[in-house]
Amino acid sequence: MRILGIESSCDETAASVVEDGRRILSNVIASQADEHKKYGGVVPELASRRHCENILWVVKQALSDANLTMDEIDGIAVTYAPGLIGALLVGVSFAKGLAMMSGKPLIPVHHTEGHAAANYLLPESAELPALEPPYLGVIVSGGHTRIAEVLDYTTFRTVGKTRDDAAGECFDKCARAMGFPYPGGIHVDQAAQRGDASAFRLPKTKMDGNPYDFSFSGLKTYIVNLLHHTEQLGQEINRDDLSAALQQAIAQDVTLKTMDAAEELGYKTIALSGGVSANSGVRNMLASACAQRGFRLYMPPLALCGDNAAMIAAQGYYNYQAGITADETLNAVASKELRGESA
């Protein structure tokens, strides 16, 4: 079964065709990052306009790269939540029109569930058989930070999530304060590789309640204040060292909570995903913690960590199998919990 996936929740207009939820036939991504860079972050209005301009050629390109026509597509999966509302609306409206015109089923996909599905697209190997639920999903991106039990392909149970900023947001805001261009996560990653994490002692978050919840705003505020203070004193800060310390702090937090949750809930299979899963510190620390405990770890290749439509098509396939489809009343939703969970 071939699903056409469409993604437009933030600043990437993307379309992809995926076969049986596992095999990528095409994967087209039109990123607007260079344009938003000028403003230091995503400008929602601008993002919507660019999606409008890009969506048609991106979808056409995905079909032509897959060497398929709409007749040979079995369903249209689209990200409908969560994200920038004006941006989501472009993908949702386009997908609805396409479904109406082609008579193909319309399949709504939650963006965070889509990120988790990126790991279904990994090639099977002797060491790493195809990922199947149940497993513990760790989804870290610019807008989301969550540990969730993936009980079956369409049933999720959140174990912990951020109470304020997402991990990617913390990377990006600190990066901006350090003078790196948007999106700053990757620049922090590169600088961190030259730096010494022990040069700074960053605060650890202490939280009441759910031990698996995250909070990154304290870390962000500490770093931003530190940079301002140093600037006021006319001193220079070593960006490489500060990046290394920041990356280590985030990687440690994600790794420790994931390991504790896996041990408590009895999971031996972990799947990391989302834009921040491209971070070398997070990948390495989680990989060595999993290796020590004999856990199996899945991580998408770098090209499938950030926003893409292949992950939406993959999750769309499983949604369709579970009977999750939509009609012309489908609307975009800016904020939405995972399937089966109340807001």
148 by DSSP, 3-state: which? strand
Stretch that binds ligand KG4, among 123-131, 141-149, 151-159, 201-209 (CB under 6 A): 141-149
- Residues whose CB is less than 8 angstroms from the CB of residue 239 and which lie 6 or more positions away in sequence, other chains included: 178, 179, 180, 191, 195
With CB under 5 to 8 Å by kind, the binding choice for 309 among ligand KG4, Zn ion, none is none
Least distance CB 176 / ligand KG4 (angstroms): 10
Q: Does 200 bind ligand KG4 (CB under 6 A)?
A: no
335 by DSSP, 3-state: which? coil
Stretch 62-121 residues interacting with Zn ion (CB under 5 A) = none
Stretch 251-310 residues interacting with ligand KG4 (CB under 6 A) = 274-276, 278-279, 306-307
- Residues whose CB is less than 8 angstroms from the CB of residue 314 and which lie 6 or more positions away in sequence, other chains included: 3, 5, 18, 21, 22, 114, 117, 118, 120, 121
With CB under 5 to 8 Å by kind, the binding choice for 168 among Zn ion, ligand KG4, none is ligand KG4
Identified binder of Zn ion from the candidate list 140, 307, 315, 338, rule CB under 5 A: 307
292 by DSSP, 3-state: which? helix
Burial state string for 109-123 with b = 16 or more CB within 10 A and e = fewer than 16? bbbbbbbbbbbbbbe
Nearer to ligand KG4, 306 or 316 (CB): 306
Identified binder of ligand KG4 from the candidate list 25, 186, 191, 310, rule CB under 6 A: 186
Contact 51, 304 (CB under 8 A): no
Q: Does 141 bind Zn ion (CB under 5 A)?
A: yes
With CB under 5 to 8 Å by kind, the binding choice for 91 among Zn ion, ligand KG4, none is none
Listed residue (303, 289, 260, 246) closest to 147, CA to CA: 260
Q: What tokens appear for 54 in the block?
A: 């890009």
Stretch that binds ligand KG4, among 37-45, 135-143, 219-227, 234-242 (CB under 6 A): 135-143
Peptide linkage before 82 cis (omega within 30 of 0)? yes
Nearer to Zn ion, 141 or 162 (CB): 141
With CB under 5 to 8 Å by kind, the binding choice for 171 among ligand KG4, Zn ion, none is ligand KG4
Least distance CB 266 / ligand KG4 (angstroms): 28
214 by DSSP, 3-state: which? strand
The residue type found at 232 is Q
Least distance CB 284 / ligand KG4 (angstroms): 12
- Residue ranges in contact with ligand KG4 by CB under 6 A: 10, 141-143, 168, 171-172, 183-186, 189, 274-276, 278-279, 306-307
